[in-house]
Chains A and B, each alone.
Chain A
Amino acid sequence: MDEISLVKRCQQGDLDAFRILVERLSTKALRTSYLIVGRKDIAEDVVQEAFIQCHREIKRLRTPETFETWFYRMLVRLSWRMASKEKGRLPLEPLDNAKGISTGDDDVTDTVETKERQQAVQQAVRRLSAPLRTTIVLRYFNGLSVKEIARVLNCRVGTVKSRLHNAAKRLAVELKQNGWEPSLGGEENPPDKQNVEREIKECEIGA
């Protein structure tokens, strides 16, 4: 069953349809919230609260096509709210340094390097401000377009682009300080120009 019909059934008070919706969305929603708030317990509370809020207010949703954007908007707002409430009360969860590192003989060096790089990126993302981090998560984890992110965050497309640009710049600086810098491939196009071109194209498609 597609998402739109599920949403319509939920709007008519069908609890089974809502259960399917929860099961479909829960993993992605939980992970998105976790990446934004950085703590598992808070992320679980946020997602639970988001689903309850969703059930309460789904009847007010006029266009079921925009359900996902609408849901993520709730999720992001709740994540920010809960994170700001809990800020300073408990320490952030430590990064798992050794977890997941393969000890295979052939590719052990590559795997360790990849893991270290990923941890460096994760640390850099964690150090971003909440709006920048959320924009990055929605773009690179949820795969939303700039326009969709603008709808989720209820801001302008230009703001999203600016946040993406600033976040990328800060991440690049931080990674460079830690000795990680993407290497140049065969093509000579400067990355910034390509990025701008792609964003313009997305904007045109969205408009």
Chain B
Amino acid sequence: MRKQAQFEEWLQASLACKAEEIEPAADMWERVRCRISTMERGKGIMILAKKLGNYLFFWQPAWKKTMAIALCGLLLVGGSVFGISPQARAWATDTFGFIVFKVIRTGDGYSLVKLSSEQAAPEGGASFGFGKIGNAGEIPACEIPAKVPVRIKGTSGGKGTPRYATAAEAKAKVGFPVHLPEYLPAGYKLEFIAADKWEKTGKGFVNVMYRVPGEHMKTVDLMLTDEQGFLKGGDAVRKVKVKGETAYWCEYPIATVTAGDTGPKVKAGHMLKWEDKGLAYTLRDSGDLSLEEMVRIAESI
């Protein structure tokens, strides 16, 4: 007998012998029939020996696979459309993109230039961005780096800064005399006095806000601090005199956008900065006060 044949014979005999260990159960058919009947009962409404769902949904998909395929297809189609079509990309940028505007100083003030998202890096001027103009609401005044005032954190008189009813209370907090202007243009009322000290330097600041009631953009903001080097930035700087001392009058842009607007707007605000008895004063106007009026306010302090 050949070796291979003998080997195969061994295999056949062994497998046959092993297989004989098992016999089908006597009720095998009954169990299968029972399962089949159960399945058929659970099939639902039968019409002409066919499940109703089979008429309505002749294709019975595997949902996980279908969802995965649909998602891949969507990504593929979307990628192709936006990859190929510049119009689609432009539409997406307009619809979903982060719109960025750059503030540019012109001969008679400021203007806004709309930038694409790639050009949004704020080099050589200020820029600000928001989602949809219609939903943006009002944004705070734009602080422009380089030639515009640099606001030091914690001097905004915001909610985190303690507020006081009188100048004397603010003085007790900061430790230097706080004098408020005796003159204010018609309509301006004191809104709040905020004062605090910077933790790192121990220097204090006082922020006094005046506003024309009901006029959001008509504000005058007086800041005084014993921190040196506070006077920075601004455009169109002019030297003026306040109580015989040199002061600086300059412009800064204020960009606003309100709901329902067609686009953001930018206007010039003004700022008067001077030093007196070791204190740095900054008077900022968001309205349309003239230089003379601002100097008059400053001299009344």
Contacts and interface: CB of A to CB of B under 8 A. Distances in A.
B49 interface: yes
Given A13-B49, A183-B6, A185-B1, A118 B13 contact: yes
A178 to B, nearest CB: 12
A100 B18 CA distance: 11
Which of B11, B35, B39 is the most central at the interface, judged by chain A CB atoms within 10 Å of its CB?
B11
Interface string A144-169: 00000000000000000000000010
B290 interface: no
B48 interface: no
Q: Mostly helix, strand, loop or mixed at chain A's interface?
A: helix
A108 interface: no
B10 A182 contact: yes
Contacts of B19: 31-32, 34-35, 141
Interface of B: 1-8, 10-25, 28-29, 31-33, 35-36, 39, 49
A31 B49 CA distance: 35
B7 A185 contact: no
B86 to A, nearest CB: 48
B12 A52 contact: no
Contacts of A17: none
A194 B4 contact: yes
Nearest to B35: A52
A40 interface: yes
Contacts of A119: 14
A15 B2 contact: no
A140 B8 contact: yes
B14 A183 contact: no
A76 interface: no
B15 A141 contact: yes
Given A19-B33, A43-B22, A136 B11 contact: yes
Contact of A185 (B3, B36, B39): B3
Contact of B24 (A47, A118, A141, A172): A47
Interface in A1-42: 13, 15, 19, 22-23, 26-27, 30-32, 34-35, 40
A40 B22 contact: yes
B24 A140 contact: no
